[in-house]
Amino acid sequence: MVDERQEPVFDDALFRQKRKHGKYRVVDAPKLEGPVADTHAHLQLLPDPALALARCTVHGVEFVCTIVDVLEDGSTTFDRLNSWKFESAAAAKRFVGWT
């Protein structure tokens, strides 16, 4: 059974604005004035953490700090981080020139 409330995962580096009736519109990415860091990410809660990291790479986010609660999240983030980084590098190469 598909959860209709769940957001779709787009396999690209484009920015989208959610519209009515489950529609999305591609919008311009924000113009970053300098280095950007995400100091409070929850990678383990995302449907595709590697894809999120690839988008960060393509859009100039230079640092991502993921937050882990070992009692609630277990060791998932620690166990998967290296594979997420590897997968994100491959995805970022696909996205070059898309933005």
What is the tally of structural domains in the chain? Answer: 1
Q: What pLDDT is stored for residue 5 in this prediction?
A: 66
Q: Is residue 78 part of a domain?
A: yes
- Residue 40 half-sphere exposure, CB side, CA atoms within 13 Å? 0
Does residue 51 contact residue 91 with C-beta atoms inside 8 Å? yes
Residue 69's domain spans which residues? 36-95
Q: Is residue 82 part of a domain?
A: yes
Q: Is residue 54 part of a domain?
A: yes
Q: Is residue 90 part of a domain?
A: yes
The neighbouring-strand residues paired with 36 are 61
Closest of 7, 83, 2, 98 to residue 46, by C-alpha: 7
Predicted confidence band of residue 7 (pLDDT cuts 50, 70, 90): confident
Does residue 88 contact residue 55 with C-beta atoms inside 8 Å? no
pTM of the complete model: 0.84
The neighbouring-strand residues paired with 58 are none
Tens of pLDDT, residue by residue over 46-63, are 999 999 999 999 999 999
Does residue 44 contact residue 66 with C-beta atoms inside 8 Å? yes
Q: Is residue 44 part of a domain?
A: yes
Q: Is residue 75 part of a domain?
A: yes
Which pair of tokens denotes residue 17?
């604005």
Q: Is residue 89 part of a domain?
A: yes
